Amino acid sequence: MGNVIPHKYEITSAKRALLKKQKPLVVWFSGLSGSGKSTLANWLEKKLFAEGFHTYILDGDNIRLGLNKDLGFDQDSRNENIRRIAEVCKLFLDSGLIVIAAFITPKEKDRRIIESILGNHYLEVFVDTPLEVCEKRDVKGLYKKARNGEISNFTGISCDFEIPLNPDLHIKTESEEAEESIGRIFQYIHGRINEN
């Protein structure tokens, strides 16, 4: 790494953000599979897009099909999966975008690594949905496979999900409608992303 010297380009992150009239931010949804992370991410992007903001969504399955298709699901691979995603988010931040990330992110250690990479551009949203509700939804049939031993290291079944210690926003899907949650998230981040 000693011979890697980054080139300094004249168009800075601040200039890109100014052109887009927004402050770059990463809104990171964490929670169990089936908790509603991707649904909320999609709704939030639609709302931001309608308001004229420049956004991009990163989602677990999409990343695993491309950038991280070489990684397995053992703990070291899962840690590396999250680290790489955080680095990709950092590049998107540099471009001036608002990134919406939807990843299980079960370990507090990984969330702190994300924060160390992204700094004050990182907004942590915990989508708190009980395991039994996630299992009932089981849109992809993953819980059933995990219960049958067909999937190892599955969060909520054979791997623990560590409850976030201090998320910026805590969304309880059992007691809050999705539209209400999106409204609350949008209100929370609006001041941080609006340059005007």
Which tens digit of pLDDT belongs to each residue from 64-121? 889 899 998 888 999 999 999 999 999 999 999 999 999 999 999 999 999 999 999 9
Going from the C-alpha of 186 to that of each of 10, 14, 20, 49, 50, the distances in angstroms are 32, 22, 18, 12, 12
118-176 per-position pLDDT tens digit: 999 999 999 999 999 999 988 888 899 999 889 888 998 988 999 999 999 999 988 77
Sheet with 98-102, strands from edge to edge, namely 55-59, 98-102, 25-30, 122-128, 169-172
CA-based nearest residue to 46, from 181, 173, 182:
182
Binding residues for ATP are 31-38
**Binding site residue list:** 31-38
Domains and CATH numbers, the chain: 13-193 (3.40.50.300)
CA–CA dist 146, 33 (Å, integer): 12
Neighbours of 113 (CB within 10 A): 15
The helix/strand/coil state of 29 is strand
What pLDDT was estimated at residue 192? Answer: 80
* pLDDT single digits (tens) 20-74: 999 999 999 999 999 999 999 999 999 999 999 999 999 988 898 898 999 988 8
